A and B are shown apart, each in its own frame.
Chain A
Amino acid sequence: MLALTMQSLIGGLLMGSIYALLAVGLNMVFGGMRVVNNAHANFVVLGSYLAYALFRGYNLDPLISIFPLMIPFFLLGVLIQRFLIEPLKRRKAAMLTTMLVMAGVWIIIETLSLVIWTADYRFVKAPYTGTSFEVFGMMISKTKVIFSVVAAVLLALIYLFLTKTDRGRAIRAVTEDREASQLMGVKITQVTTLTFGLAIALAGAGGGLMSTMYSFYPAMADVWRGRLFCIVILGGLGSIPGSIVAAFIFGVVEALVTLYASAIWTDVVTYSLVIIVLLVRPGGLMGRQTA
């Protein structure tokens, strides 16, 4: 039983790294820019599709293709921020209008995916897909380990960027406290454009990596959409470490509940956890607790 628990735990942690990579991008936008990016999950799935296309067309392993892929995703993010988000912010529109605009983007991405790639399930069968490491009698999915390693590398790079560079520090400042940053002379527009681009790039990269793990279809984003928002809120808006912690909690709790109870109860437990945590810490685990 101990071995099974360990296996579950590790599986949960690996899953947590997936959630973490996806949630961090959403937090940067939702927490930092108060943009309800309804379409974040759709960018993830789009990343899967593009990685799939490159794999089919040029036999490029997603592990390689996600890096160049991050560039068009970054640019897409910049464009969306400039033309869709900035006009709303300038007019002091309600936060919810960003949700509506991104819902429009959601429809467009989903429909385009449907038209280009049809509703068939797609999947990238890389050489490591479906294989496992055997460690101390536990079976650990190779693909998930690779994902975690790459995710860890990406997150580490992001961490370095956010802590060691001026631009990165500016992003963190704005994420934590937009007004105060403005007062300190941070060029909000530049920073938010950079933030959005970065977030979308992360989403695309995450999706690209996931193409070897899950089969996907245009509406697959529905599965991730709500979950990512709940993870971000659990961790606390504006706290990137919070998102990472929350992501791992989600992954581990899901794995353990599946092991000890049954898979169908995971949602009840994880989402109840979100609510319970909020009752005790109204700002999420690591977010600001008072208004």
Chain B
Amino acid sequence: MLQRAQDLGTRVLQQQKWWILLLLVVLAVLPLFASRFVLHILLLFFLYVTLAESWNLLAGYTGYINFGHVTFMGIGAYTSLILMKDFGLSPFYTCFLGGLFAAITAVVIGYPLLRLRGPYFAVSMLSLSFIFTALAFNLSGLTEGGRGISVRPFPSKVPFYYFMLVCAVISVGAIYKISRSKFGLGLISIREDEEVADSLGVNTTLYKILAFAGSAVLPGIVGGIYGYYMSYMDPKAAFSFSFTLNSIVMCMLGGSGTVLGPIIGAVILRSMSEFVSYLIPGEFYKLLVGALFIGLILYLPGGIMSLFAGKEGSDVFAKR
């Protein structure tokens, strides 16, 4: 079932190449005439797409659920803002260092912890995010503790927009490429039955760590950019569970283990929040969002992409 939905995603990306190119061009020139507000909305949207697609790599394709996904973003945010605070370096350059640190953290922590089963791995990652939050509070010489780091805001939204757009495109592109590669098949085998994958010759330890590190890089990069965009970062914001939750929700709403799923999920969730909050005054709109949300999940537990899944269908590897 997932493979048929998978197939739709790859089919869309292959056959609708021109429409996608057009969309990208439109998005690229948008800053010329769009309002700051629109840029803000889109930029956050791209942020969430990046986070959700990254989460998708480890969860949707490899089958390991990470409740501490935000940790990588927070590492990136603090890396960039500390370097700016102490050395005046622009996060536009140092964000890559954040990505590197996030990936290194993933490798170091992944090697022992990826041996844990489902819920244990998930919650151990949650614990990790709490540890980082606490460290950010405590190492105040480095991180300014609870006060948070404030930096001089950048006068324009445009470079942030482009950065986020590029990251989102890369995240989707990477998932696309991986999902039809040998690496991707290895990951999917691990997800389907890790012991069997082992017996078939997949180096599961290596692959899991690679997927984990892969899921950490872009959040690390994007964390630095986001931190600069907000021109402020404190421990609670940097390692907030809401980023993890959003990634999970968007990925599952759209359909985990698919290329387009996280994008669809992000579109649905972001538009639901923004539009419904316009329609309904005060806080009431959240009730509707919550109810709509529950309804969606109950109706489509496999996410939107499951609508496009047939009972039989060649998976993307079996194409003649």
Scan residues 130-177 of chain A and give those whose CB is less than 8 A from a CB of chain B: none
Secondary structure of the B contact surface, majority rule: helix
A226 touches B130 (CB 8 A): yes
If the complex has contacts A99-B248, A226-B126, A226-B130, are A105 and B298 also in contact, measured as CB distance less than 8 A?
Answer: no
Q: Least Cβ distance of A207 to chain B in Å?
A: 20
Find out whether the CB atom of A274 lies under 8 angstroms from the CB atom of B127.
yes
Interface assignment of A6: CB less than 8 Å from any CB of chain B: no
A88 touches B301 (CB 8 A): yes
Q: Which residue of A lies closest to B290 (CB)?
A: A107
Q: Which of B65, B128, B287, B290 is A271 in contact with, Cβ under 8 Å? A: B128
Q: Interface stretch among A11-19, A65-73, A89-97?
A: A89-97
Q: How far is the CB of A38 from chain B (nearest CB, A)?
A: 8
Chain B residues near A112 (CB, 8 Å)? 287
Chain B CB within 8 A of A30 CB: yes
Check B127 against A268 for contact (C-beta < 8 Å): no
The contact of B119 among A88, A222, A233, by CB within 8 Å, is A233
Quote the shortest CB–CB distance from B194 to chain A (angstroms).
10
Those of B247-275 within 8 Å (CB) of chain A: 248-249, 252-253, 256
Instruction: Map CB proximity to A onto B264-306 as digits: 1 under 8 Å, 0 otherwise.
Output: 0000000000000000001110110111011001100110000
- Asked if A237 is an interface residue, CB under 8 A from chain B, the answer is yes
CA distance A279 to B116 in the complex (A): 8
- Give the tally of cross-chain contacts (CB within 8 A): 130
CB distance from A82 to the nearest CB of B (A): 12
State the Cβ distance, B230 to closest chain A Cβ, in Å: 20
Q: In the complex, how many angstroms separate the beta carbon of B123 from the nearest chain A beta carbon?
A: 4
Inter-chain CA distance A282–B121, complex, in Å, is: 9
**Shortest beta-carbon distance from A261 to chain B in Å:** 10
Q: Give every chain A residue within 8 A of B131 (Cβ-Cβ).
A: 267-268, 271-272, 275
- Contact of A282 (CB < 8 Å), options: B116, B138, B286: B116
Q: Is the CB of A283 within 8 A of B294?
A: no
Complex alpha-carbon distance, A158 and B141, angstroms = 48
Is B113 a contact partner of A101 (Cβ separation < 8 A)?
A: no
Determine if A278 is an interface residue (Cβ-Cβ < 8 Å). Answer: yes
B284 touches A101 (CB 8 A): no
Q: Which residue of B lies closest to A93 (CB)?
A: B301
| Selected contact of A94 from candidates B128, B137, B245, B301, CB within 8 Å | B301
Contact B289 A107 (CB under 8 A): yes
Most buried by A among B65, B128, B131, B282: B131
The reply on B152 being an interface residue by CB < 8 A is no
Cβ–Cβ < 8 Å partners of B282 in chain A: 115
Whether A88 contacts B298 by the Cβ 8 Å rule is yes
B115 touching A114, Cβ below 8 Å: no
Q: Does B154 contact A (CB under 8 A)?
A: no
Q: Is the CB of B248 within 8 A of A100?
A: yes
Given contact pairs A93-B301, A96-B65, A264-B137, A111 touches B284 in the complex (Cβ within 8 A): yes
Check if A97 sits within 8 Å of B297, measured CB to CB. Answer: yes
B308 at interface, CB cutoff 8 A: no
Please tell me if the beta carbons of B126 and A265 are within 8 angstroms of each other in the complex: no
Instruction: Say whether A97 contacts B127, CB under 8 Å.
Output: no
Q: Which residues of the partner chain A approach B137 to less than 8 Å between Cβ atoms? A: 264
Question: Which residues of B have CB within 8 Å of A106?
Answer: 290
Q: Which of B118-149 contact A (CB under 8 A)?
A: 118-120, 123-124, 126-131, 133-135, 137-138
- CA distance in complex: A268, B131 (Å): 5
Interface string of A215-250 (1 = CB under 8 A from B): 000000010011101101100010000000000000
Q: Is the CB of A268 within 8 A of B134?
A: yes
- Is B176 an interface residue, CB under 8 A from the partner? no
**Closest beta carbon of chain B to A249's beta carbon, Å:** 14
The 11 sampled A-B contact pairs (Cβ below 8 Å) are A36-B119, A96-B65, A101-B297, A103-B293, A108-B291, A115-B284, A232-B123, A237-B120, A267-B130, A278-B116, A283-B120
* Apart from the given pairs A105-B290, A229-B123, A267-B131, 9 other A-B contacts in the complex at a CB distance below 8 Å: A94-B256, A104-B291, A107-B286, A111-B290, A268-B134, A271-B130, A278-B120, A282-B115, A291-B117
